[in-house]
Amino acid sequence: MNAITARLSSFRRHLDPAVITAFACILLLLFLGSLYSRNFLSPEYLLQQLKVASFLGIIATGMMLVILLGQIDLSLPWVVTVGAMMSSAAAGFGHTGAMLAIPFGIFCGVLIGLVNGFGVAYLRIPSMIITLATNAVAQGLMVVYTGGFSPQDSASPTMRYLATGFIIPSIPNSVLCWIIVGAAAVFLMNRTGFGRSIYGIGNRERAAYLSGINTRRIVLTVFGISGGLAAFGGVLLAGYASKAAQSMGDAYLLPAIAAVVLGGTSILGGRGSYLGTVAGVLLITLLQSILSVMQMPEFGRQIIYGLVIIMMLLLYGRESLSR
């Protein structure tokens, strides 16, 4: 009994005001939505939202690790597309191709991520620039590969099953994927030396280096993981839409960054929890969904979307005045 109360109080101490605010905003959104239509609280609708959120959630997990380092990964849009296109392409090569489709898509993403990581960690190029450049290269490769059109290859049955099927009744597989990825990320961040080093590097890379951490290898690995997760998100998206499309990843860069930051992770690195990222992902998915259910025209959606991000950041994302 004592142990439980001790745990509870330590849990309360660790609660981040940002995470609480984000979850409060989710409840507020659900409440506002339920005033509009009762369907907003039905289990079907919520599960559907969870399913849509899982794609963003998996992609944002990689982005969060990179942001924890104090870096940023702008190559995400075309890594997502590369993951989708390459896995669909591999699926076209008969039985073995279909088997290797998912690993091959993820492998391509990891490769791009490693190029990013090498540039950032070993060549000391600012992450914003090198990821921008690899994004351009990935785009160029895909344009050459597809000839500028949407490719004809379609997703393999496994990919479709992973994105739309149900192993456990009524819980979509993509949500299971997110739970697995999320659990792995939480374990990595909180229970391993690798995770502690990520936080350390994000706080001050110089100090982390002086304490004997091989900071360059860790930065390289994290970018590889981020690329792999983005590509995995692309694989799932291809399975969901049953084919890949040009610039299908464009719609995920800003939401991924916004989700991570709204969840209380500092864009300067070194501070943030995965629970916050989950809250950010759910918040953004719900916001997009409610705006589209209310048949808000696209321009209104964009404006409200931007305003909400700024408002929430003004609530808790401000830097301290003292320097």
Partner 1 sequence: MKQWRFWFVEHRGTLMALVIFVVMFLIYASNHPAGFGANMVQTASNKGVLLAFVAMAQSLVVITSGIDLSVGMVFTLTNCLASWLVVGSPAQVILGIIAVLAVGAVCGAINGCVVIYGRLQPIVATIATGAIYYGIALALRPFPGGTVNETIADALTGKLFNFIPASLVAMIAIVFVVWVPFSRSVAGRAAYAVGSSETAAYMSGVPIKRAKFFAYTLSGLLAGTGGLFLTFFTYTGEAAYASGNAYTLFSIASVVLGGVSLMGGKGSAIGAIFGALAFRTIGDLLFVFDFDPLWQPLFQGVVLLLAVSLSAFGLLRVRNRLDWFT
> Looking at beta carbons only, is 186 or 315 nearer to partner 1?
315
Note whether 60 and 50 are within 8 A (CB). Answer: no
**Which residues, at least 6 apart from 16, have a Cβ–Cβ distance to it below 8 Å?**
264, 273, 275, 276
> Looking at beta carbons only, is 40 or 73 nearer to partner 1?
73
Burial, 31: exposed, middle or buried (Cβ in 10 Å; 0-12, 13-18, 19+)? Answer: exposed
Note whether 293 and 49 are within 8 A (CB). Answer: no
> Looking at beta carbons only, is 11 or 299 nearer to partner 1?
299
How far, in Å, CA of 178 to CA of 51, rounded? 9
Q: Considering the complex, what minimum distance in angstroms separates the CB of residue 67 from partner 1?
A: 10
> Looking at beta carbons only, is 156 or 215 nearer to partner 1?
215
How far, in Å, CA of 89 to CA of 252, rounded? 22
> Looking at beta carbons only, is 50 or 121 nearer to partner 1?
121
Q: How far is CA 242 from CA 25, 54, 201, 239, 279, in A?
A: 33, 17, 40, 5, 28
> Looking at beta carbons only, is 56 or 74 nearer to partner 1?
74
Q: How far is CA 33 from CA 53, 162, 221, 265, 306, in A?
A: 17, 30, 41, 27, 19
Q: Considering the complex, what minimum distance in angstroms separates the CB of residue 26 from partner 1?
A: 19
> Looking at beta carbons only, is 54 or 215 nearer to partner 1?
215
- Residue 9 sits at φ, ψ, to 5 deg, of -70, -35
Q: Considering the complex, what minimum distance in angstroms separates the CB of residue 228 from partner 1?
A: 20
Q: Considering the complex, what minimum distance in angstroms separates the CB of residue 221 from partner 1?
A: 18
Q: Considering the complex, what minimum distance in angstroms separates the CB of residue 299 from partner 1?
A: 4
Q: Considering the complex, what minimum distance in angstroms separates the CB of residue 171 from partner 1?
A: 32
Beta-bridge partners for 243? 154
Encoding tokens for residue 169?
């009744």
**Which residues, at least 6 apart from 80, have a Cβ–Cβ distance to it below 8 Å?**
59, 230, 231, 233, 234, 237, 248, 249, 252
Q: List contacts with partner 1 (CB under 8 A).
A: 72, 74, 119, 123-126, 128-130, 132-141, 143-144, 147-148, 205-206, 209-210, 215, 247, 250, 254, 257-258, 261, 267-268, 297-307, 309-310, 313-314, 317-319, 321, 323
Q: Considering the complex, what minimum distance in angstroms separates the CB of residue 233 from partner 1?
A: 19
Note whether 85 and 106 are within 8 A (CB). Answer: no
Q: Considering the complex, what minimum distance in angstroms separates the CB of residue 222 from partner 1?
A: 16
Q: Considering the complex, what minimum distance in angstroms separates the CB of residue 310 from partner 1?
A: 5
Note whether 77 and 62 are within 8 A (CB). Answer: no
> Looking at beta carbons only, is 190 or 302 nearer to partner 1?
302
How far, in Å, CA of 143 to CA of 231, rounded? 17
Note whether 263 and 22 are within 8 A (CB). Answer: yes
> Looking at beta carbons only, is 100 or 313 nearer to partner 1?
313
